[in-house]
Structure 1
Amino acid sequence: MNLSIIISQLIQKCINTLLCQLLKLRNRHFLIVDIIIFLITPSLALFLRLDGHVVWELYKPDLANATILFLIVKLGVFWNFGFYRRYWRYASIEELTYIATLVTATVVIQTLLFNFLEYIPHVAIEKLPRSLSFIDGLLSCIFIGALRFSVRAVERVYQGRGSCNSRERVLVVGAGSAGVSLVQEMQRNPQLGFYPVAFIDDDPRKLHARIRGISVVGDRHTIPDAIHSLEIHKVIIAMPTVAGEVIREIVDICKATGTHACTLPGIHEILNGRVRLDSIRDVRIEDLLRREPIQTDIERVSQFLQRKKVLITGGGGSIGSELCRQICKCRPAEMMLIGHGENSVFVIQQELEQLIQLLKEDGKAQKYTPRIYTFIGDIRDRDRLKHAFERFQPDVIFHAAAHKHVPLMELNPPEAITNNVLGTKNLLDLALQYNVKHFVMISTDKAVNPTNVMGASKRVAEMLVLQAAQKSGLPYVAVRFGNVLGSRGSVVPTFKKQIAVGGPVTVTHPEICRYFMTIPEAVQLVLQAAVLGRTGEVLMLNMGKPVKIVDLAKELIRLSGYEVNKDIDIVFTGLRPGEKLFEELFIKGEEYEPTEHEKLLIVKNASQIIPQSLDMIVESLCQAAIKNDGNSILFLLEQVVPGYKPKYSVNNRSSTSINSDDLAKLHENILTTVNPS
C-alpha cells in the first residue's frame, strides 16, 4: 500500500479519535481546564498590558496574589451560578450571553477587591495596573467561550463527515424559526435520513443569506428550478402560521414537478411551541383551509380554570375530548368526564392520564396536575346526573353533549328533543341547585334561523341557558360556531372513506357552502368565551369565509393523489331534508358587539329574546318526545323558535300523538301569553 495513503488514513483516524474524545468532554473536565486558564490569564493580561516589557521579578509577588484572588472569584461566581451544570454540546447564543454575563460579574468583583486591597498592608497589589482585571476578564471570556463552543463546532464537523448520499435531499420552504429549528434537528441527527440542502423564503431580505450553513436560494416561484438544479427529493413546508392559500400554491407547484411535499402542522397543533422532525406529515385539508392563527390569552384561561372542578359533558366526543386535553393543561383541581359511550370515554381517559404523567415529570411547567374522574351516564337521566353532581360538586360546566347530524335528527325528532333540550334542561336545573358558578354550552350556527329540527332544538337549548342566567345572575353563556373539520361524521372523514374505495365522492349540491374551523381552534375560542362571557350572553365565533363543499371535495381528491372526474368522480345527490345551501350567522332582532377578542362577538340582547311561554313549551316538547310524537314536536318548535318553518310532517305510524284537545289548549295558552290583550 502507498505510504502516503497509510499516513493519510492514520491522520484521518487520529482526527476522528480526537473529535470523539472532544465530544465526550464533561463539566468536570471543563473545570480542570478552566482552572489552568484562570492561572494563566492574569500573567498573559499583564504581558499584553505592558506590551511584553514585563520585569517578572518586580511583579511576581503581586501577580501571584492577584492570580489566586482572581481564581477564587471566578470559580466562586461560576460555581454558584450553575456554570458547571450546563450541557455544552448544544451551546447557542444564550450560552454565549451567559458566559459574558458571568465574566462581567467577576470583573466587577475583582475591580472592587483591587480597590479594597489597597488599604490592607502586606497584601497590597498596587504595583499591578488597574486595567489588569478587565483584560484578564476579556481573556477568560475568550478562552472559556472558545473551549465550550469548540464542542459545538466539532459536533457540526463530525456530523458533516457522514455520507449525504444515503439521505433524502430536502428543500425547506420557510426560513423562519420553524424552518431553522427543523434544519437544526436534521443536522444534529443525520441518522434520521434527511439532508437539508437549501431554504426557500418569500422575504427578499433573506435572499442568498446563509442560515446554519445552507443558503436561501429564492422565493416560492423558484421552487421548480431549485428542485431540478439541487436534485431535491422532498419539499418540507415549515410555515405553521401561513394562510391556506399559500400552502395550496406551494403544494400545486411541487406536484407539477413530481416532488412530494410535506408540512409541519398548523400553529394550533403545535401548542407546546416545539418543532420536531416527527411533526412532519403529509399536507392535509386543514392546512389548505388555514387562516391567520388565533391569538388566545392562554394565561387568562389558565387563571380562570386553575384549581377549579370542571365538568365536561360529551367528554368522549370530538369537541369534548379536545376540551379535556386543553383544560387539563390549565391545571384544574379535578375534571369529570360525562358520556354515555364507554369506549370513547375510556380512550380520552387513557390519553389524559398519559398527559398528566408528563405534566408530573415536568415540574417546572406544571405545579399542579388534575385528578380525572369518568362518569358513564346519559344527560337525559336526571337521577343519574344528580348523582354525578352530588359526588363532584363542579365549579364550571362545559356542555358539549348533543345530537348534531341534521338528516338523522330530521328523521328522529324525539331524539333531538330529549338529548339537546331535555338533557340541557336537566344540566341547568342541577347547575342552579348545586350553585355552579359558570356554565358554557356549545351551540351551532344551525341554531340561527333554523330550517331543521337539530338547529331548532339547539336554539331552544340556548334559550334555556339564557333563562337560567336571568334567574341566577350567573355567567351562563352559549357559544355558536360552525362545522368542525375532522369531527366524527363530518364531511372530511366521509370524503376520505369514499376516496379510499375509489369513489364517487357525494356532494349534496354544487353551491352548498359551510363555515369551517379546526377542532383545536374551536376549543381555544370556547375557552376564551368562558373567560369573557357575562351573564346571559350568546357568543359567536368569527369563522372567516364560508367554503364550498365541492371545492373541499376537489382538494381532498387532489391531496390523495387523484384527478377529479378522471380517477375519482364527484356526484351531486340533492339537498337532504332540513339542509340549507348557506349557513347564516345573524338572527333578526339580535344586536352584536365586539369583545376583547377579535374572533368573538357577543349577542348583547340575547336574553331579551326569550318567549314568556318557554317553560310551558319545553314541558310539552319533552312530553311529545317521550310519546314519540314527531308532528307535535314540529308544531311546538315552530311556536317557540322565530322563523322556523317545518317543510314536512314526520310520518311515524307508531307514534302516540298528544291529545288534540290538549294541543289546542296549549296553542291558545301560547297565544294568550304572547298577546295578553
Structure 2
Amino acid sequence: MNLLNSILNWYFKKEALPYWCMFLIDTATIFFSGLFTYWIFNKTGAFIDHRFELLYTLLLYVLLTCVGFRIFHTYSGILRYSSFVDLWHVAMSNAVGLALSLIAHFTMEYLHVDKIGILTLTETCTMFLIATLAMWTIRVLVKMLYDVILADKKAVRVLIYGAMEGAVGLAKYIRTQQPAKFVLMGFIAHEKSNENRLHHVRLMGKKVYNTQDNLAHIIKKYGIKGVLISPTRTKDFQNDREMQNTLISTGVKIYMTISAHEMQVENGKLTDSSLADIKMKEVSVEDLLPRDEIQVDMNSVGALLRGKKVLITGSAGSIGSEMVRQIAIYKPAEMMLIDQAETPQHDIRLMMSNEYPDIVAHTVVTSICKEKRMEEIFSTFQPDYVFHAAAYKHVPMMEDNPSESIQNNVWGTKIIADLSVKYNIKKFVMISTDKAVNPTNVMGCSKRICEIYVQSLDKAIKDGKIKGITQFVTTRFGNVLGSNGSVIPLFRKQLEAGGPLTVTHPKIIRYFMLIPEACKLVLEAGTHGKGGEIFVFDMGEPVLIADLAKRMIQLSGAKNVEIKYTGLREGEKLYEEVLNEKENTKPSFHEKIRIAEVRSYEYEEAQQSITELYQISAAYDDMNTVRKMKEIVPEYISKHSRYEALDQK
C-alpha cells in the first residue's frame, strides 16, 4: 500500500507524463489486447504454436494504429484531466487503426503472406473494441484516483448554486484546479421553475438539490463548507433572500466569481475566455445586496472623451477616483486632476503613472476655493470637459461647520462653474446627492444650492443673458457602497474590534449603489445631457441599515456581537428621498435615469443670494449662515438639529 501511495504521489506531483510514456502505454494496450483476444478465441496450444505469426501481425497492427494516434493526438492529453472529448479521440484513433488493419489483412490474404494476418476479421474487430475499452478505463481510473484518492485534504466541500450551463462550466473549472481548492458535492437549483424538472437529476455524477430539500440538513450531513455561485446566476442569488438566509444560518462560506457582472455570457453559457479567467472570492455584504444589473452605453462616452482634455475636481475621493479610472480608459488627450487631500492624491498620481502611462495626467494638490489658482489652471490647461466631484460630504461634520460647507461646496462650485463659462468649457457635470432633496441638514442644503446655481447659469446662457457655450448637467444619487466614511467600512472596523455595531435607528433605511455603476451613469448622463437637467438615478430597493448590520455579523462568523442603537445624528433623517415631493420626473435616454422637473431660478437672483450667503459665512456665525440657507432653499427643514429653532414660525 505504501508503494502504491508513493507511485501515485510521484505521478500526480508531476505536471504530466512525457508524450513518449503516453504513446508507449497506448501502443502496449493495443498489443496486449491482441494477445488477449487471440487467446480467448483459440486454444492455448494454438496460441503457442502460432506465436511468431501473432507477434508479426500485432506489431503491424500497432504500427498502423499509430497513424490514428498521430491524427487525433491521443498521447498529448493529461490522463488526470481526461474528458469526453479525449475518450472520443481514443475511439476515433482506434477506428482508424481498425480500418488500416483490415486493409492490411485483406492485402496479406491477397498476397498469400502467411506470416502476417493470422487474426480473423472478428478477432481483429474484437481486439480493437477491447483496446478502446481498456484505454478508456485507464483514463477514467487515473482521473478517479486524482479526483478522489489524492484530493487535497484542505479542499473545501462545496455545492454550486445554479444547475445549468454556467454551473457546469464552473464545476469543470474547479475540478481542473491544481492543487484542488474545492470538492464538488452537488448543485442547487437556482429557480423554482426548474425544481420539478431537475428533481432527482444528476449533473456530472452529482445530485441536484432544490428548495424543497432540507438544505441545512444536507449541508450538515455531507460536511459542506462552502457554496459557489454560478457566474450566470449571480443576480438570481442576490435577489434570493430566503436562500441567502438559509446558507448563512448554516455557517457555510459563500463564494462568487470576481467581477461576475463583467464575464462574457453567450446564450446562457460562459465563453471559453471567461472560463479561463474565473477567480473566486468569499462574498461581502455588498455582493448580497439585491440590485439590477445596469447597462450603460460606454461607446458613446468614449467617443465624447477620446482625445479631449478633461478636468476632474475631487479626483482623490471615492467617486472622483473612479471617474478618473473610467475616463482614462478612453484615452483623453490630457487629464487635470484636482484635490486638496495630499496622500490620496499621491495615490492617484501613482495609479495613473503605473496603469495609464501613455496619458498626460496633471495631479494638483489645491482647493477649488482658491479662485486665483483655479483661474491659472483653467487658463493654462484649457479643458474641454469638467467633472465636478469635489465637496464636503459628511453630514455631522457639516452640521457643525456650516460656514465651511458654504465656502467649499457652494462657493467652490461657483468658482469652477464661472470659470467653465469664461473658458468655453463644452460641458460641466456636477455630482450631487439625494440629500439635496427636501434637505434636513446643512450638507444636503449646500448641495441643493449648488444645483440651483449651475441650473440658473445654464438657463442664463440659453436665454442669451450670459455669453457662453457651456452645458451644465447635474447628477443626483444616493450612497455608494464602500465609499470613504460610509456605513459598510465603519461596520467592518467595528467587527474587527469585536463590536458593537452602531446603528442610529432601528428603522433607518438608505439607498445604495456600486461606485463603478454610479460613475458609469454619471458619464452617460454627462454625455447625453443637453444642459440644465438634473438627472436622478434609480437606486433600486432601499436597505434597512439594521438588517445590513445583522447580515455583516452573520457573514463574519463572529459570535456575541451586539448592535447598539445610538439615536439619529444631527440633520439625519430615517430615509432619503431621491426627488422632492413637489417635483415630477420624466423619462430619459436610459431606464435607470430620469430627469427631475424642478423649480427654475433666475441667474441674477441666484448669484446675489449666493454672494450674500458667502459673505455671511465669512463671519462664521452658524445661525446666521443657516438662516440664509433656509431663505434660499425654503424646503430645508432641520431634523434633530440645533437649527430647528430657525424653523419655528
What is the TM-score when the length of structure 1 is the normalising length?
A: 0.68
* Conserved? CA contact 2:403–2:622, under 8 Å: yes
* Structure 1 residue 198: Cα displacement: 2.6
Q: 1: distance between equivalents of 2:19 and 2:330?
A: 43
Matched, 1:619 2:611: yes
Q: 2: distance between equivalents of 1:621 and 1:16?
A: 74
Match of 2:245 among 239, 243, 252: 252
Aligned to 1:452: 441
* Conserved? CA contact 2:434–2:476, under 8 Å: yes
Match of 1:163 among 138, 150, 158: 150
Matched, 1:551 2:513: no
Match of 2:427 among 421, 438, 446: 438
Matched, 1:572 2:544: no
* Conserved? CA contact 1:634–1:646, under 8 Å: no
Moved more, 167-176 or 219-228: 219-228
Q: 2: distance between equivalents of 1:503 and 1:379?
A: 38
Aligned to 1:242: 236
Aligned to 1:523: 519
SS of structure 1 residue aligned to 2:391: coil
* Structural mapping, 1:486-525, within 5 Å: 486-525=482-521
Give the % identical residues.
38
Aligned to 1:217: 208
Aligned to 1:115: none
Aligned to 2:121: none
Matched, 1:338 2:330: no
The superposition leaves residues 374-410 of structure 1 with CA deviations (integer Å, 9 ceiling, x where unpaired) of: 1111111112222322333222211111111111101
* Structure 1 residue 590: Cα displacement: 2.8
* Conserved? CA contact 1:322–1:523, under 8 Å: yes
Q: 2: distance between equivalents of 1:381 and 1:24?
A: 75
Match of 1:194 among 159, 167, 182: 182
C-alpha spacing 1:568/1:225, structure 2 compared with 1 (3 Å): closer
* Structure 1 residue 290: Cα displacement: 2.6
Aligned to 1:399: 388
* Conserved? CA contact 1:159–1:187, under 8 Å: no
Q: 2: distance between equivalents of 1:280 and 1:9?
A: 32
Q: 2: distance between equivalents of 1:256 and 1:649?
A: 43
SS of structure 2 residue aligned to 1:235: strand
C-alpha spacing 1:229/1:573, structure 2 compared with 1 (3 Å): closer
Q: 2: distance between equivalents of 1:11 and 1:268?
A: 40
Aligned to 2:270: none
C-alpha spacing 1:15/1:346, structure 2 compared with 1 (3 Å): closer
C-alpha spacing 1:15/1:251, structure 2 compared with 1 (3 Å): closer
* Conserved? CA contact 1:399–1:441, under 8 Å: yes
Q: 2: distance between equivalents of 1:542 and 1:170?
A: 36
Letter in 2 for 1:596: F
SS of structure 2 residue aligned to 1:568: coil
* Structure 1 residue 455: Cα displacement: 0.8
* Conserved? CA contact 2:505–2:567, under 8 Å: yes
* Structural mapping, 1:123-522, within 5 Å: 160=147, 163-166=150-153, 167-176=155-164, 178-202=166-190, 203-204=194-195, 205=197, 213-215=204-206, 217-222=208-213, 223-224=215-216, 226-228=218-220, 230-238=222-230, 239-242=233-236, 244-246=238-240, 248-265=241-258, 267=260, 274=274, 279-356=279-356, 370-470=359-459, 471=461, 472=468, 474-522=470-518
* Structure 1 residue 499: Cα displacement: 2.5
Letter in 2 for 1:218: Y
**Gaps in structure 2 of 5+ consecutive residues:** 23-75, 86-138, 266-272, 462-467, 645-649
Higher RCO, 1 or 2 (CA under 8 Å, sep at least 6)? 2
* Structure 1 residue 442: Cα displacement: 0.7
Q: 2: distance between equivalents of 1:607 and 1:595?
A: 19
What's the C-alpha RMSD, in Å, of the aligned pairs? 4.2
C-alpha spacing 1:644/1:91, structure 2 compared with 1 (3 Å): farther
Q: 1: distance between equivalents of 2:615 and 2:571?
A: 23
* Structure 1 residue 452: Cα displacement: 1.2
The superposition leaves residues 575-629 of structure 1 with CA deviations (integer Å, 9 ceiling, x where unpaired) of: 22211122222225433101121111002x4472457521111111222222323
Q: 2: distance between equivalents of 1:15 and 1:457?
A: 66
C-alpha spacing 1:492/1:256, structure 2 compared with 1 (3 Å): closer
Letter in 1 for 2:435: K
* Structure 1 residue 510: Cα displacement: 2.1
* Structural mapping, 1:32-71, within 5 Å: none
Match of 2:18 among 18, 21, 33: 21
Q: 1: distance between equivalents of 2:10 and 2:545?
A: 63
Aligned to 1:636: 628
Q: 2: distance between equivalents of 1:644 and 1:448?
A: 9
The superposition leaves residues 555-575 of structure 1 with CA deviations (integer Å, 9 ceiling, x where unpaired) of: 222222246xxx122222222
* Structure 1 residue 165: Cα displacement: 4.9
* Structure 1 residue 19: Cα displacement: 6.4
Alignment length (residue pairs): 520
* Conserved? CA contact 1:251–1:261, under 8 Å: no
* Conserved? CA contact 2:170–2:275, under 8 Å: yes
* Conserved? CA contact 2:420–2:470, under 8 Å: no
